[in-house]
Chain A
Amino acid sequence: MIREKIEYYEKIAQSVRIDVIKAVYNAGSGHPGGSLSAADLLTALYFGEMNIDPENPDMEGRDKFVLSKGHAVPGQYAVLAERGYYPVEDMMSLRKLGSPFQGHGNCHKVSGIEMSTGSLGQGVSVAVGMAIANKLDKSDSRIYTLLGDGELQEGLVWEAAMAASHNKLDNFCAMIDWNGLQIDGKNEDVMRVAPIAEKFEAFGFHTVEIDGHNFEEIFGALDEARATKGRPTAIIAKTIKGKGVSFMEDRAGWHGKAPDMKQAKEAVEELGGEW
């Protein structure tokens, strides 16, 4: 991948991060940590990988993305805004009474959201159903989902994983945002989820382990997923929670907490944005 192209995606991902900080600051609550760790993955999906049309969000045969780690929806709102589904200003009503931008995404309220999620483990299960539907319809369109690492503690994730491989869903790609942290602390201390790749391998997935902040590796893995036939792919993306904002990086405390004005300003400026 040529350097200019990488810079293009990196720039968008930084904008996504800035939008997230501003929206969560305005809301006074929300989940910045996991939105920032997933920003590069989401940018790669919406700007490079998926066959979608913001002008025609319900386009027949489009690729679909389900945010299984639904609390990272500020990241998804931001990437949808940057991609042109709606103006960035719209999402600044995040979490306010009457706003379509719910604390966890609602598919009937915001353009581009394919499934209402928030309760962990359910998005991936629904995404498997969507992938089965595409197979039934003999459609080439692909289904993507993003899971948190803590989310892997939900038994439903593995029920869904079993079904994805049993049904040979090579049109299905699960991405895992492995930032190592969850609400109560490190996965390692709360409930170990590692080794992740080996688990998905054992469930019949093709797996790729990457640096989830390196666009070359992200696109390489997505290419590999598309080329894999007869079974689903899991992309295990090592990430940093709170990525891009030094005082949030790798701190579990920023899982579900809004910055105050001083912190938000500092974060936006560090990300290269204007307050």
Chain B
Amino acid sequence: MANKVATREAYGEFLVTEGAVNENLVVLDADLSGSTKTNGFAKAFPDRFFNAGIAEQNLIGMATGLAMSGKTVCASTFAMFASGRAFEIIRNSVGYTGANVKVCATHAGITVGEDGASHQTFEDIALMRTIPGMTVVSPCDSESAKLLLKQVVDMNGPAYVRLGRAAVPVFYDETAKLELGKGHQLRPGKDITVIANGIMVPSAMEAASEMAEQGIDVRVIDMHTIKPIDEEIIIKAAKETGKIVTAEEHSVIGGLGSAVSEVVTREYPVKIKMVGQHDTFGESGKPDELREKYGMTAKDIVKAVKELY
């Protein structure tokens, strides 16, 4: 696999590039600008960067006020605190008004690693996608992060973008054709479909290659946008392959697996197996060790595919 870059690094680069051409862009952080990578923007455009300090509720409140005054606002902190602590502000001030606030949250999921359970959020996608009008995005690598962030910033209205701490393989290149709200089929397949997002996308491709050797033809879809979800591509997969495995670095309660199930049960019921965090807290450890222990690797996708097939 090619070189590795964290999606948060891509976010930092995106902000500097976008900030140069979009004078309306304002960025807020909550004392984590070195970690969320908003520090590049802060250095390049100090007048348009505001630090809320360790105050995530006010981070989102101020972001709303700026957005209500016509600014495009990216507000960043760790995913745990953005989606958890500030949930109700995002719901009532951002969501209810449809404010043009992009919550770009980093350090999501188990790959936060050593910081442990208090910082490993598996609930953010579930929380964010219950808010009416909220666009929810989970890119799998640095290139897709940049492509999707551009579309998120160009659209009007609230969005949540889930970004990671750990360096992950660069999977796409800048010519990739990714469209917000549209699942991206990475590999055709007729026997079973794996719908993945975030760091589970390369794992899904790895699993599909392994399955191909065993004569199982796996379709793989990168479902980078969880809301609005691409119903068409899901229904097509259910009809054509009859079985679906979902894979996400998130709780199987309320995340991608749930979102896919909601469509499938309504439109074309087929069996689904979900790879993800199974209703438990994490712990300290290296990202790869944790993925192994909590069942979010290519091997786990292979296992789920075999169980269903």
Contact = CB atoms under 8 A, between A and B. Distances in A.
Interface residues of B, number: 28
A131 B48 CA distance: 14
A160 B52 CA distance: 9
A126 B64 contact: yes
Contacts of B88: 119
Given A159-B52, A162-B53, A128 B65 contact: yes
B118 interface: no
B66 interface: yes
B50 A126 contact: no
Contacts of B70: 133
Contacts of B98: 108
A98 interface: no
B62 A132 contact: yes
A63 to B, nearest CB: 13
B58 A130 contact: no
Given A116-B96, A116-B97, A129 B57 contact: no
B62 A126 contact: yes
A129 B50 CA distance: 10
A129 B61 contact: yes
B89 interface: yes
Interface string A171-191: 000000000000000000000
A127 B65 CA distance: 6
Interface in A95-121: 106-108, 114-116, 118-119, 121
A108 B57 contact: no
A159 B31 CA distance: 13
Contact of B58 (A115, A125, A137): A125
A114 B70 CA distance: 13
Contact of B97 (A115, A124, A137, A163): A115
B220 interface: no
A2 interface: no
Contacts of A125: 57-58, 60-62, 64-65, 89, 93
A136 B48 contact: yes
A128 B48 contact: no
Contacts of A136: 26, 47-48, 66, 71
Contacts of B151: none
Interface string B31-74: 00000000000000001101011010110111111111111000
A128 B60 CA distance: 11
A129 B63 contact: yes
Given A119-B88, A136-B47, A167-B50, A160 B69 contact: no
B53 A163 contact: yes
Contacts of B71: 133, 136
B130 interface: no
A138 to B, nearest CB: 11
A110 to B, nearest CB: 13
A133 B69 contact: yes
Nearest to A129: B65
A43 interface: no
A128 B97 contact: no
Of the listed residues B53, B68, B89, the one surrounded by the most CB atoms of chain A closer than 10 A to its CB is: B68
A138 B119 CA distance: 39
A233 interface: no
A115 B55 contact: no
B17 interface: no
A132 B58 contact: no
B53 A155 contact: no
Nearest to A124: B61
A130 B61 contact: no
A20 to B, nearest CB: 24
Given A108-B97, A129-B68, A129-B69, A116 B58 contact: no
A121 B55 CA distance: 13
B66 A132 contact: yes
A35 B84 CA distance: 33
Contacts of A137: 69
B92 interface: yes
Given A122-B61, A128-B61, A136-B48, A107 B89 contact: no
Nearest to A135: B47
Interface of A: 106-108, 114-116, 118-119, 121-122, 124-134, 136-137, 155-156, 159-160, 162-163, 166-167
Interface of B: 26, 47-48, 50, 52-53, 55, 57-58, 60-71, 88-89, 92-93, 96-98
4 A-B pairs with the lowest CB-CB distances in the bound complex, closest first: A129-B65, A125-B61, A133-B69, A159-B58
18 contacts: A107-B68, A115-B65, A116-B93, A116-B96, A119-B93, A122-B93, A125-B58, A126-B61, A126-B68, A126-B93, A132-B66, A133-B26, A133-B69, A136-B48, A156-B61, A159-B53, A159-B58, A159-B61
